[in-house]
Amino acid sequence: MSDASVKAAFIPDKYRSADFRDMYRRLQEELECLNSIVLLRNELPADSNYCEVDFSSLMDNEPFDETLLERTDPDQLKTILYTSGTTGTPKAVMHSHNTINRVIDNKVDYLSLDNDHQDRMFMASPITHITGYGSINFPFTTGLSTALMERWDANVAVNFISQTRSTVSVGATPFLKELLDAAEANNNPLPSMRYFICGGASVPPQIIYRTTEILENCRAFRVYGSTEAPIITLGWPEATQQELAAETDGKVFNYDVRIINDRGENITAIGSEGEIAAIGSGMMLGYKDQNQNSEAYTDGYFMTGDIGVLTKDNALIITDRKKDIIIRGGENISAKEVEDMLHSHPAIKEAAVVSRSHPRLGEGVYAYLLIKPGATPPSLTEIKNFSESTKIAKQKIPEEIEIVKDFPRTPSGKVRKDQLRKKLRHD
């Protein structure tokens, strides 16, 4: 909030187990920029301070004459979304009205979404992610509607989709997998659903095929993108394209993609592996920290940090990643942040954290541990208890550990995480 210079926050009083009003009162003491706290859903308490405002009282005011406002430049900054960086420091990703609208319009154009089909976006992803954020903007720019599910529950989702007659959704692998299980268990083929756009983690081909077996009219396909360059590919929605939908990470749409080798050269040969670089109108304006931009682009192309190939069908297949992140249930986790936490454990000399295939979440947090001489190797339970004591987010706590004598390393001593990930894939 300090980095974004937040001046006003819109909050509920309390939500689930969180007391937001108490939290923001404490934050206010640390944030010079925060001068207005707007309370939603509840009347203003008697002990409110000078910064707190009741949202309903704002709505009761006379409408403001919008003709007095300066016209907004659609290329101006609209939103800042934070993503885990490879260094563990969150990166502030800036998007304009136009970049967010282009991401939305790409989906609408590619899938021919319209009012004739009574298309409605079903959204269960967190709205702080680019997927959820784009979907809550959907009604304001397309004229179509969004059915926002407050909290994920697969059985509730089946009923919710049926009640709202939702037709399309975008979500990470666990959402689709659990939705299929629940639809099958409830004997509900969700006939209104037309498309499920799946990404954010590895998507097994079996899930794509299974969608057409369980859901009456729905096609699922993989897509690829990031907060910085959202939805670079947009899948294969036709029945005749099932194999492409299952075996690739989608067809490039309204982006120009290059495959770059280790020397920074563009590889033109089809099927050659390299780092994926992309440029397009849905791309971010840049990082708020200008120092981060110098390493993020090459000739105007955003360097994604993912390794892949382009096929003859102009499809992408992701084969590995350079960025040191774990995508757990569609959420990026910085491996370095977890490693830094583990390095504070008294028995650990060095930690290397990588992703491992997870049956539900796509990827899980796996930690290789090098123990200090003479120290007793900690158990997984001890590591989990220690992690909780550091107040690290629950989803970042290692789910599996392995004690090793050393790591595979480069001649300069850098840990070869590609080999560690490869070892896990073969175990």
Residue 1 domain-assigned (yes or no) = no
**Domain termination residue (choose one: 321, 343, 375):** 321
Residue 201's closest CA among 329, 310, 96? 329
Residues 104 and 249 grouped into a single domain:
yes
What are the tens digits of pLDDT across the range 350-364? 999 999 888 888 889
CA separation for the pair 360, 174 (Å, rounded): 5
* Inside any domain, residue 98: yes
Any domain includes 255: yes
User: Which pLDDT score is estimated for 174?
Assistant: 82
pTM for this structure? Answer: 0.80
Span 150-172, average pLDDT: 95
Question: Is 168 part of a structural domain of the chain?
Answer: yes
Domain harbouring 418, CATH code: 3.30.300.30
State the amino acid at position 366 in one-letter form: Y
Q: What is the pLDDT of residue 86?
A: 53
- The answer to whether residues 422 and 394 belong to one domain is yes
pLDDT at 29: 86
pLDDT at 166 over 70: yes
317 lies in the same domain as 329 = no
Q: Per the domain annotation, does 380 fall within a domain?
A: yes
Domain holding 268, by residue range, is: 77-321
Which is more confidently placed, 89 or 131?
A: 131
What is the pLDDT at residue 412?
54
Q: Which of 321, 337, 363 delimits the end of a domain?
A: 321
Domain-embedded: residue 43: yes
Q: Is the pLDDT of residue 88 over 70?
A: no
Q: Do residue 308 and residue 330 come from a single domain? A: no
Can you give the pLDDT at residue 129?
84
* 3 part of a folded domain: no
Residue 87 belongs to a domain with what CATH number?
3.40.50.12780
- Is the alpha carbon torsion for 127, 129, 135, 139 positive or negative? positive
pLDDT at 328: 86
The string of pLDDT tens digits covering residues 363-385 is 899 999 999 999 999 999 999 99
d(CA 129, CA 134): 8
Whether 140 and 247 map to the same domain: the answer is: yes
pLDDT in tens, 222-235: 999 999 999 999 98
* Mean pLDDT for the stretch of residues 27-37: 90
The answer to whether the beta carbons of residues 416 and 410 sit under 8 Å apart is: yes
- End-of-domain residue from the set 288, 321, 354: 321
pLDDT digits (tens, 9 = 90+) for 205-223: 889 999 999 999 999 999 9
- For residue 163, the model assigns a pLDDT of 97
- Tell whether 166 and 244 lie within a shared domain: yes
> In percent, how much of the chain has pLDDT > 70?
97
pLDDT of amino acid 201? 66
pLDDT of residue 143: 86
Number of domains in the chain: 3
Q: Are residues 157 and 243 in the same domain?
A: yes
Q: Is residue 72 part of a domain?
A: no
- Residue pointed to by tokens 């590591």: 383
Q: Are residues 176 and 107 in the same domain?
A: yes
Q: What is the mean pLDDT of residues 64-80?
A: 92
Do 334 and 185 sit in the same domain of this protein? no
Pair (238, 105) in one structural domain:
yes
